């Protein structure tokens, strides 16, 4: 995996240092810029086009949503991870509509940032928050279902998981063993680069496999 150039924009000094220490644990990742304000951080990103941006949602001078929008427009390949202390039900859908790859609630363990970076780096999505994600009409599918890298059976199981069914229920519905369903679930998670059901659900909505 090639070296990753990351930029961090976070106004709280102590939390910024904590994230820097966490990012330092990621092999092959280099923080090429760290900023306490949004405007200079955005200017740096527009000029340097980093591989990854980790940005706080609430900054003194500029909203993280605006930064994400501008960076996504100028640098489509940049992975964007938002961190916030103010999650909401609408936030995951709003961020995904902007093309953000994930977000982490600041009240979650700092290890979540590490997991999020690794997941996003691998091409997956990571949405971790204590507020239950809620889809909305502004969330447009970014891919067609036929582009989903899952087999027909895996797509079928992914849909049922996203609709809240447990492995035992899915096994009964599809006339499969629970062990077979669990194996399919593990393969699905690995293929699309997510680690939790909430992220799988958001991925299914984004790809158009299920309605929001």
Highest mean pLDDT among 26-40, 80-94, 161-175: 26-40
Q: For residue 209, what pLDDT is reported?
A: 75
Instruction: Give the mean pLDDT of 33-42.
Output: 96
**Residue range 4-128, CATH number:** 3.40.50.2300
Instruction: Give the mean pLDDT of 173-182.
Output: 92
- pLDDT tens, 151-173? 888 888 998 988 888 899 999 99
Q: For residue 31, what pLDDT is reported?
A: 95
Beta strand 102-105 with 126-128: parallel, antiparallel or unpaired? parallel
Position with higher pLDDT, 45 vs 85? 45
Cα–Cα–Cα angle for 3, 97, 62, rounded to 5 degrees: 75
Q: For residue 44, what pLDDT is reported?
A: 97
Which helix (H) or strand (E) element contains residue 126? Answer: strand 126-128
pTM: 0.64
- Choosing among 1.10.10.10, 3.10.105.10, 1.10.150.20, 3.40.50.300, the CATH entry for 145-207 is 1.10.10.10
Position with higher pLDDT, 150 vs 32? 32
Position with higher pLDDT, 47 vs 195? 47
Q: How far apart are CA 117 and CA 130, in angstroms?
A: 19
Average model confidence (pLDDT) across the chain:
83
Kindly state the percentage of the chain with pLDDT values over 70.
87
Instruction: Give the mean pLDDT of 128-154.
Output: 51
- Residue 135, pLDDT above cutoff 50: no
Domain assignments of the chain as residue spans, ordered by start: 4-128, 145-207
Q: For residue 74, what pLDDT is reported?
A: 94
Position with higher pLDDT, 48 vs 118? 48
Q: How far apart are CA 127 and CA 133, in angstroms?
A: 8
Q: For residue 90, what pLDDT is reported?
A: 73
- pLDDT tens, 118-134? 888 887 778 765 444 44
Q: For residue 94, what pLDDT is reported?
A: 80
Q: For residue 133, what pLDDT is reported?
A: 40
Q: How far apart are CA 160 and CA 173, in angstroms?
A: 9
């Amino acid at each position: 995996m090639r070296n990753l150039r990351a930029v961090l924009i976070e106004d709280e000094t102590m939390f910024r240092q904590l994230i820097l220490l966490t990012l330092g644990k990621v092999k092959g990742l280099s923080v090429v810029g760290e900023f306490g304000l949004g405007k200079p951080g955005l200017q740096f990103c527009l000029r340097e086009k980093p591989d990854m941006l980790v940005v706080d949602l609430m900054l003194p001078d500029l909203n993280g949503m605006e930064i994400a929008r501008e960076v996504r427009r100028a640098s489509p390949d940049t992975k964007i991870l938002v961190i916030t202390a103010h999650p909401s039900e609408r936030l995951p859908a709003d961020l995904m509509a902007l093309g953000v790859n994930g977000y982490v609630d600041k009240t979650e363990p700092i290890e979540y940032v590490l997991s999020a970076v690794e997941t996003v780096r691998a091409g997956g999505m990571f949405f971790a928050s204590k507020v239950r994600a809620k889809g909305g009409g502004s969330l447009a599918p970014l891919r067609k279902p036929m582009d989903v890298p899952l087999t027909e059976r895996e797509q079928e199981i992914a849909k049922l998981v996203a609709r809240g069914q447990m492995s035992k229920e899915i096994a009964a519905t599809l006339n499969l063993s629970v062990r077979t369903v669990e194996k399919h679930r593990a393969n699905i998670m690995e293929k699309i680069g997510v680690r939790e059901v909430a992220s799988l659900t958001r991925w299914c909505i984004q790809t158009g496999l299920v309605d929001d």
